[in-house]
Chains A and B, each alone.
Chain A
Amino acid sequence: MDVAEREDTLLSLMRQARLTGQGGRPEDIAGHTSLSIEQVTEVLTKLVMNGEVTYQNDGAYHLSPSGIRAAEAIMRRHRVLETFLQEMLGMEHELAHAQACTMEHHTTDDTINRLRGFLRGNRDCPVTCHGHVRRCSFKSLADCAHGDVVKIDAIRGCGRGGRLADLGLIPGEKVMVKQRMADTLLIRVKDCDIAISPEIARSVLVEVDQ
């Protein structure tokens, strides 16, 4: 049994359980993954044999406690990889997700732990700050609507970083979006108004101000 096939099946069952509270049928799993129904059935049979999945009377497969632990470990690898690709390397979310989906199967736990340490040390995040929570709470200035007040978290890329810093756009600074014309933003920083293009706005990561 291929590692990727096994892990994709486990993840798919996990997702099915979270979404519906039900188990998954081979055809559901085949729909989520790139596997055929025959392959899925074969993988499921093997998973039942090693106790990670149980087959129940409703015709669906369910994760056993050991299966849940395995699926959670894979999901954690996925999140760490995705966060790294997106936040540190500046990849688009979709691309980062797709890449993480293939990388997760072959990354050792040691690599993942090191990456996690790197991500955490980088931003002085509290220990509770989890990769997943971080991804959801960070967005770029380009995603902000008219009237939003946000705090700058980091500025990606270095091309215009200097210029932005000179104008007062530095991590920790509060920014108000004053006007949005299509994707061009007029922001207020340190009591001054600054017009910025969408591509620049996308490089400024912000935290939503609570």
Chain B
Amino acid sequence: MKIGLIGNPNVGKSLIFSHLTGIGVEVSNYPGTTVDILSGVSCINRLPVEIIDLPGIYSLDGEGDEERLVRDMVLSHSFDVLVVILDAVHLERNLYLFLQVLEHRIPMIAVLNMADEAEKQEIQIDTHALSQITGVPVLLTSATLGKNIAEIIPVATTRASVGTYQVAYDRHIEAAIRTLMRVSDSGSSRVASLLALQGIGTDPSLLEAARTIAGELEEEHRMPVSSLLAGNRHHAASEIHHQKTGKEMRGLDSWLLTPFPGVLIMAGILLSMLLAVFFIGSFFEELIVEVCDIWVLGPLAGASLDPLVYELIFSFVIAIQAGLGIAFPFVFTFYLLMSVVEDTGYMSRIAFLADRIMHRFGLHGQAIIPMVLGLGCNVPAIMAIRQIGTKRERHIAAFLITMVPCSARTVIIAGIVSVFVGLYAALSIYLIIFSLILLSGLFLSKITPGTQLGMVLEVPPLRVPSPLMVLTRAWIHIREFLVIAMPLLIVSSIFLGLLGFYGVLDVIETATAPVVQGILGLPPFASTALLFGVLRKEMAFETLVVLAGTANLTEVMTRIQLYIFALVSTLFIPCVSTIAVLYREQGLKTAIQISLYTVFLGFIAGTVVHWISTLIPLF
């Protein structure tokens, strides 16, 4: 038996899902999209029940990736029962989706979640009356308190029904539905006719007929059919709901959403997140790397192996070591904090606050979300660009996100600059990078063709996040990193190991020496380190240590050389995983453009710092 959970974003759907399924959740991507579908299994009376958590949507008729995916799954009868999860506090708006789902005539139940919040706001809900009107069993639950959650599966398996309520549309639309239902030989359903009126469906004769009728309807009402339908549904929802307003409960927002002190608070939160990742990350990274050195690399060097075999195993182990050393301490810590920010509902507040400044770069507030995610790892951040607006916006966002210093680059800055040069120097690198991002944004918004669409984003009420949800969310994020970045890490590490083994690296070193030595003022072996950085950012640092033959880098390089090295390797060319995901998401042309642009930027920045340092002593 398959049960689908469907509902608006921010209704506690995912929390209910984790309560129902516990651990052992499987994340799968629907073919052709990056939309995540979570599925898990729950047992009831010793019979397994598969539960699928569908992405949060506002409508079943929309054209977004998520909406289309959910609609396709509902239309193909992928579920035996649908559980519609509604926010009891914002019931009227949520009923809109509920009424749409009812039209599909699939056995379903309604779950009114957030009962505790509704109670606090003195909103009274008559579940019996709602059940009477719609003909569907209604449950009042509270996912945060765990109240009534255990009832969901039993009710869904035994009492789910298709419902009796039907939205009364405008008489012209009802007439159109009647006509369309007679068009095809087998007779199409009411919902198929409704979708066909909005140009959705697979039956060509039905679509053809619907297009003609929809044209007439639009002519007559001077409004797209979809708006007409939406208006009728909202009207029906408000009739069912009978507006009951509760107490206002959002004192904190008057602080968080104003230019002052809202923007300051936002800067403070983001900065303290970065610092926390910086310190917690470096602590655990050292621990992991040391354990790996002592228990794996030490014995490996001791075992007298064939040099080629040794090189292969060594490269493999070092890739795993670096991957774990980055993934868990930095990326996981970051996503853990990030999930707290997301789950409290603060993320959409950041989008609101940043909307104005993002407009300067030809973007809008929503684009700040992938950019902040990019501080963890650029790979999932670039995948998240899909959700923002137009081609122009995605193009600009891809450039800027690639420049955002990810955790691996934090490792370089922390490991080289803050250790050997000083904390202020490390912060100055961030300052340089962020100024370059701002300048690039201004520049790109001038030269990128295309149109701009603004942001429409729901700002949910502030909530205390649930620890279970935070962990699950952080795990989903890091999973993307492990699945996409790790295999590339291992392959590229072995590839570079082989290059070194056959002496190709020395050739490259000699060839690039004039540029690296003459223009950037770095020792020749730095070019190999920079090259490793192309494959894996933090490898630039590790290779430098290996090549220098000492962990105390100040013995072989001056402080200004270390600074320039860190700056160049942070800025120039994204790592191979990022390039791969850029190619996949944005196409070859954009991937090449971004790579060339960042190389150019890195060398220019390095050259300028080197030039200044010859004029005045910097450190």
Binding site for B on A (CB under 8 A): 122, 155, 158-168, 170-173, 179, 181-184, 186, 189-201
Contacts and interface: CB of A to CB of B under 8 A. Distances in A.
A168 B257 contact: no
The 7 closest A-B pairs by CB, nearest first: A197-B454, A165-B230, A166-B59, A184-B355, A182-B356, A200-B454, A195-B352
Q: How large is the interface on B (under 10, 10 to 19, 20 to 34, 35 or more residues)?
A: 35 or more
A119 to B, nearest CB: 10
Given A163-B58, A179-B258, A196 B456 contact: yes
Contacts of B230: 162, 165-166, 170
B587 interface: no
B206 to A, nearest CB: 21
B500 interface: no
B106 interface: no
Interface stretch (B156-164, B185-193, B219-227): B219-227
B228 to A, nearest CB: 9
Nearest to B356: A182
B364 interface: yes
10 contacts: A166-B61, A171-B227, A179-B253, A179-B352, A181-B353, A186-B257, A190-B93, A191-B92, A194-B456, A197-B359
B224 A190 contact: no
B117 to A, nearest CB: 12
Contacts of B455: 184, 195-197, 200
B90 interface: yes
A151 B96 CA distance: 20
A163 B96 contact: no
Contacts of A181: 257-259, 262, 352-353, 355-356
B100 to A, nearest CB: 9
Interface of B: 58-59, 61-64, 89-90, 92-93, 96, 222-224, 226-227, 230-231, 234, 245, 253, 257-259, 262, 348, 351-353, 355-356, 359, 364-365, 452-461
B453 A193 contact: no
B348 A195 contact: yes
A200 B389 CA distance: 12
A199 B231 contact: no
A170 B224 CA distance: 12
Contacts of A166: 58-59, 61-62, 96, 230
Given A170-B227, A197-B355, 15 more contacts: A164-B456, A165-B226, A166-B58, A167-B58, A167-B93, A168-B93, A171-B223, A172-B231, A179-B258, A181-B352, A181-B355, A190-B234, A193-B458, A195-B459, A197-B365
A162 B231 contact: no
Given A173-B234, A181-B352, A195-B355, A200 B456 contact: yes
**Max chain B Cβ within 10 angstroms of own Cβ: one of A159, A161, A163, A166:** A166
A170 B352 contact: no
B92 A194 contact: no
**Max chain B Cβ within 10 angstroms of own Cβ: one of A163, A171, A192, A200:** A192
A191 B257 contact: no
Contacts of B461: 193
A166 B62 CA distance: 8
Contacts of A201: 454
B453 A168 contact: no
B458 A167 contact: yes
A55 to B, nearest CB: 49
A192 B93 contact: yes
A182 to B, nearest CB: 4
Contacts of B90: 190-192
**Max chain A Cβ within 10 angstroms of own Cβ: one of B59, B64, B352, B454:** B454
A168 B243 CA distance: 14
A162 B60 CA distance: 11
A170 B234 contact: yes
B68 to A, nearest CB: 12
A181 B89 CA distance: 26
A195 B93 CA distance: 16
A158 to B, nearest CB: 6
A162 B355 contact: no
A71 B98 CA distance: 57
A191 B249 CA distance: 12
Nearest to B357: A182
A163 B456 contact: yes
Given A162-B226, A170-B230, A200-B454, A191 B365 contact: no
A190 B356 contact: no
A192 to B, nearest CB: 5
A84 to B, nearest CB: 13
A181 B348 CA distance: 14
B356 to A, nearest CB: 4
Contacts of A192: 90, 93, 458
Nearest to A162: B226
A163 B366 CA distance: 15
A39 B61 CA distance: 61
Contacts of B63: 162
B216 to A, nearest CB: 15
A11 to B, nearest CB: 31
Contacts of B352: 179, 181, 184, 186, 195
B222 A194 contact: no
A7 to B, nearest CB: 31
B227 A184 contact: no
